[in-house]
Structure 1
């Protein structure tokens, strides 16, 4: 008796699983070998795929694949951080939770962080494509800054923070966390790092 053709839902699930497998392998190759060595051949070998065509079927170019990597890392970070931030009561506690959750994510996901660093340091903008286009490091950074600036604005309105430049303060927080990524990847205790940063910005923003 002939086998039944796969159902549409099964095919879609298999496609998602394959894309996720390729993206995860790309993250690991970027983190372990660097940008230049992250070729379709290297990804294929790392993922145990039989042919590069299995990658190019889902991602036409390396740029498309790297955009998917950024989207995945951003989504993973948001899923990790958002519940912790939302569980905090009030802008001051949410700022502390934002810093702590971000530091914890960096420490717990070193491959994600190294992969994004490789893309940010090495990827060149595609002709005709703005650095602020969806999937670009610039676009992701602007979104993160806007959300953090909104937290500062709410805190100022509520009297939890002193009058301050919300965008500038958001940039300072992001810069501090980004600067801490290297030491964290080298083994800095994340609890110590998070406490130092949270305390510093608590004093800097206190009403």
Structure 2
């Protein structure tokens, strides 16, 4: 068994590829939305735990319950959430991702997982890139926005992503040496990329 970390330039089509890969492998897919919910709602209601249990196969819910017991000062407030500063959020992501990775069979989408899992021998680390023009075109198609808007979003979000990665203290924000493979989604068809990653998972896992 293995785990997969996918890092991607904003607009390179990583989420679609990651979801397709997880489905193909029969793995759990953990993306920014799920991790963001956990970080903001550490002490959660029963209803939320049940929703996470269904979505994450129990692994996330058990971890959240453990974390909440160890942090009794965090309270669940209706229509509000606990905000973490970036350092605390990064530390929390490190623990969440490490715990989920211990269970194998997970595809992680971003959030610094390539650095968090750098010493995990079962982790397959992939970086997805594409030209700026390809990424802009992807956003225009996916969100039905004009070129100016897509260009603004691509540049803004990519700068934010790189700044976040710098916080992990790994030197350059996007050090390619930490990846098993770097794939250009503008040149490699999504299905071919999924096939390639599956072969890596099979060999390494």
Structure of higher RCO (CA pairs closer than 8 Å, 6+ residues apart): 2
Give the number of the structure whose residues are more often helix, by fraction.
Answer: 1
Give TM class, smaller chain: under 0.3
Give the number of the structure whose residues are more often strand, by fraction.
Answer: 2
